[in-house]
Amino acid sequence: MNRREFLKTSATGAGAAIALPTFWSTAFAQGREETLVLISENGPNNLDIMGVGTNRPGYEVAWNCYDRLISYGLKTLEDGTQSYDRDTFIPQLAERWEVDETGATFYLRPDATFHDGTPVTAADVKWSFDRAVSVGGFPTTQMATGSMTSPDQFSVIDDHTFRVTFTVPDNLTMPNIGVIVPSILNSALVLANATPDDPWGLAYTAANIAGGGPFRLETWTPGTEIRFLRFDGWKSGELPPLRRVIWRTVPSAGNRRALVERGDADISFDIPPRDFAEIAAEGDLKTMSHPIGNGMWCIEMNVTMAPFDNVKVRQAIAYALPYEQIMAAVVFGLGKPLFGAESNVADTMEWPRPTAYHTDLNRARTLLAEAGYPNGFSTPIFFDLGQGIISEPTAVLIQENLAAIGIRTTIEPVPGANWRGQMAAKSMPFMINFFSGWLDYPEYFFFWTYHGQNAVFNTMSYQNPALDALVDASRVAAAAGDTAAYEENVKASITLAYEEVPRIPLFQPWLNVAMQPNIEGYVYWFHRQLDYRTISKA
């Protein structure tokens, strides 16, 4: 795609002819007032949050079909919409808990069962936590962000009492117990389907639910549809108003828009900015848009590959990017600009925070010359085709501006199914990427994306012991209640990262949702997926 093709697509895409699916009448016939029909671009590729390469839609399955020990409370925002409250924990499978300096003890609901009627015990909880810290990859790293790294930290006191032992003071331990990863599995069911080569039963749970959450799996056709039924035996909260959820995968943005506009879908989730802006302007549907907490679209450069090992090259690119054009033509203003601040020195705890970089091609050329590249260089621009609605036009605009300072580029889309693998391989020298941290704390973002010990989302291969020490110290200071030290370390982390600039922030996006006027109870969650518990149809 070139600039002319991009602008033509932006101007005419909404008017293109679309062929609509015809499956909706049967869905609505099955108790419309208790059935939610949901559409999105992508569906789950794995039903287990601990599975290898589970995508974000897979998180939604795990969130609704499994319990955790605790969850998060809700709060009402200034615009009247609801969001999870990161600072409030509420009971879920554990009806109460006690926390001291050495650990946390959880007292389980005595009447909780899994979907097959098996009672939930502390042995299931321990097995599930053991699994989370042992399977490797993202789940194990996630648990490590809360200093939970060994099965030795988890113990069964009795059938309904479970304890987590703290190894170090860490402000992120309790928040991590409430995220999706430590979901509680029916250990006997999984073990019955495990093998010596797969002791944690990952192959079984990839396509089957072994939980006791508020919804159970009815049917799943990968890439097409997944259906859930309410689990009427759920004891870990108020029974959801919905009896059935039908989630259809509709890859075409035009089809999704038409389906929700004509009333054949109740909710269209994660809508592209342009469609959302037009739907909101029309006013026929209920629309909600929330800033994605701890999230940003960025340019990320692998600092182990020349010329991106030179900080002046990275700074030159930061001054060459077409920030305003991206905000206008790609995001349609639906995001927070993360550029144009007075300084890169953080003087507040604002996060995500804008950098001081802005479009200044003359300054970019000067920095390139100082770095030893007066005539520029060549590089590919990689992006995730699965997020192409944002990343592809962004790449086109960036390509044009970089050409103006002598940097010659080719645009290299990577299929969404291969993106995580490419990231893990650290094979891309220059990429457009989005990252959002579940726990809305700046030190959490920095652990995942800058810390030298983290091999998952530090796509820049950035190694800076000084920054690592600041991130680690932030977590300890927060746990100790030392607010002054915590804020000092966080501000220093931001300042150092923005001056070294291995990643160039572009904007903080918004999560856009359109729904029928009779839908109530939508809540924004840190995992950026739907929670069916609170949704109802008037």
pLDDT higher than threshold 70 for residue 223: yes
Same structural domain for residues 526 and 488?
Answer: no
Tokens of 243: 């009896």
* CA 292 remoteness from chain centre: 9
Say yes or no: 310 and 212 in one domain: no
Residue 319 and residue 361 in contact, taking contact as beta carbons nearer than 8 Å:
yes
Residue 186 lies in a domain: yes
Question: Which residue from 492, 488, 433, 439 is spatially nearest to 467, judged by alpha carbons?
Answer: 492
pLDDT value of residue 14: 39
Q: What is the CATH number of the domain that holds 447?
A: 3.10.105.10
215 with 304, same domain: the answer is no
Q: Is the pLDDT of residue 143 over 50?
A: yes
Residue 502 located in a structural domain: yes
pLDDT in tens, 399-451: 999 999 999 999 999 987 788 788 888 999 999 999 999 999 999 999 999 99
Give the pLDDT confidence score for residue 117 in this predicted structure. 97
Region label for 39, one of left (φ > 0), alpha (ψ between -120 and 50) or beta (otherwise): beta
For the chain, the C-alpha Rg in angstroms (whole number) is 24
Q: Is residue 307 part of a domain?
A: yes
DSSP per-residue letters across 200-251: T-HHHHTTS----SSEEEEEEETTTEEEEEE-TT--SSSPPS-SEEEEEE--
Kindly report, residue by residue over 350-398, the tens digit of the pLDDT. 999 999 999 999 999 999 999 999 999 999 999 998 888 999 999 999 9
Answer whether residue 453 shows pLDDT above 50.
yes
Instruction: Tell how strand 161-165 and strand 103-108 pair up.
Output: antiparallel
The CATH number of whichever domain residue 96 belongs to comes to 3.40.190.10
Residue 70 pLDDT > 70: yes
Whether 311 and 391 map to the same domain: the answer is yes
Is residue 7 one of the residues assigned to a domain? no
Mean pLDDT in residue range 75-99: 95
Tally of domains in the chain: 2
344 pLDDT band, cuts 50/70/90, is very high
For position 350, what pLDDT does the model report? 95
Domain-located, residue 10: no
Give the mean pLDDT of 84-100: 97
Q: What is the pLDDT of residues 282-334, one digit of tens each?
A: 999 999 999 999 999 999 999 999 999 999 999 999 999 999 999 999 999 99
Task: Say yes or no to pLDDT of 6 above 70.
Answer: no
User: What secondary structure does DSSP assign to 79-94, as a single string?
Assistant: TS-EEEEEEEEEESSE
Domain of 339 in residue numbering reads as: 295-510
Same domain, 110 and 142: yes
- Do 220 and 72 share a structural domain? yes
**9 pLDDT higher than 70:** no
pLDDT at 79: 87
Q: Is residue 325 part of a domain?
A: yes
pLDDT in the model for residue 454: 67
Distance between CA atoms of residues 140 and 149, nearest Å: 7
- 113 shares its domain with 192: yes
Q: Please indicate, yes or no, whether residues 36 and 160 belong to a single structural domain of this protein.
A: yes
Rounded to an integer, the average pLDDT of 96-121 is: 97
Task: Say whether both 219 and 239 belong to one domain.
Answer: yes
Please say if the pLDDT value at position 29 is more than 90: no
Grade residue 30 by pLDDT with cuts at 50, 70 and 90. Answer: low
Instruction: Indicate whether 300 belongs to any domain.
Output: yes
The b/e string for 520-533 (b: 16+ C-beta within 10 A; e otherwise) is ebbbbbbbbbbbbb
Work out the average pLDDT over 151-180.
96
Same domain, 367 and 231: no
Q: 88 lies in a domain?
A: yes
Give me the pLDDT at residue 31, please: 67
Residues 373 and 495 in one domain: yes
- 461 and 528 inside one domain: no
Task: Return the axis-axis angle of helices 483-500 and 465-480, rounded to nearest 10°.
Answer: 160
